[in-house]
Amino acid sequence: MAKINTIAELKKLREDLLGAAQAKAGKPLVNVSLATCSVASGGRDVLAAMQAEATALGLDVEFMQSGCMTVCFAEPTVEVTLPGKDPVTFGYLDAEKAKILVQKYIKDGELIDGVIPVGYERIVL
């Protein structure tokens, strides 16, 4: 890992990272919440099921893990960002529902049950 030697390098790195993310924006992005509670309620199974289903359907999907999405009542949760669309958070998943999520929303853009409304405003630096 290259060291950041100046403040300018940090800022440059950020721009590069944002640019790289932009370049990937053509692909669906699946962000799986994997904090202790998410894992305990089956988050890893959901991730595995979605990865398997995406491969089976031949979909090019970018997966990432994150921490707590703060909606414990709806764990396991994933956030899906389709190209050109706002992110949507789905909750109350299990391996089976995760497969359906890939089949319907990721593949065809068709919403399924369990959408968690965004009840917050978030500070972006």
Partner 1 sequence: MAEKKQLRIATRNSGFIDPENIDSYIAAGGYLGLAKCLGEMTPEAVIDLMKASGIRGRGGAGFPTGVKWGFAAKYASDTKYVVCNADEGDPGAFMDRAILEGDPHSVLEAMAIGAYAIGGNKGTIYIRAEYPMAIDRLKIAIEQAEAKGVIGKNIMGSDFSFDLDIKYGAGAFVCGEETALINSMEGNRGEPYTKPPFPAEAGYWDKPTIVNNVETLASIPAIIVKGAEWFNGIGTETSKGTKVFALAGKINNVGLIEVPMGITLQEVIMEVGGGVRNGKKFKAVQTGGPSGGALTYKDLDVKIDYESLVACQSMMGSGGMIVMDEDDCMVAIAKFFVEFTMEETCGKCTPCRIGSKRIYEALDKITMGQGSLEDIEKLKLLSVAIKDTALCGLGQTMPNPVLSTMRVFEDEYTAHVVDKKCPAGVCSDLLEFIVVDEKCVGCTLCARVCPVDCIGGKVKEVHVIDQAACIKCGACLDKCKFDAIIKQ
In the complex, which residues of this chain contact partner 1 (CB under 8 A)?
Answer: 1-7, 9-11, 13-14, 17-18, 21, 31, 33, 35-37, 39, 64-74, 79, 117-125
Tokens of 76: 């396991």
| Shortest Cβ 94–partner 1 spacing (Å) | 18
**Sheet (strand 29-33) strand order:** 62-66, 29-33, 78-81, 88-90, 115-116
Give whichever of 79 and 107 is closer to partner 1, judged by the CB atom.
Answer: 79
Residue 59 phi, psi dihedral angles, 5° rounding: -90, 140
Give whichever of 7 and 60 is closer to partner 1, judged by the CB atom.
Answer: 7
| Shortest Cβ 38–partner 1 spacing (Å) | 9
DSSP state of 3: P
Give whichever of 108 and 124 is closer to partner 1, judged by the CB atom.
Answer: 124
| Shortest Cβ 79–partner 1 spacing (Å) | 7
Cα–Cα distance measured from residue 14 to residue 105, given in angstroms and rounded to the nearest whole number: 31
Cα–Cα distance measured from residue 79 to residue 92, given in angstroms and rounded to the nearest whole number: 12
Give whichever of 31 and 50 is closer to partner 1, judged by the CB atom.
Answer: 31
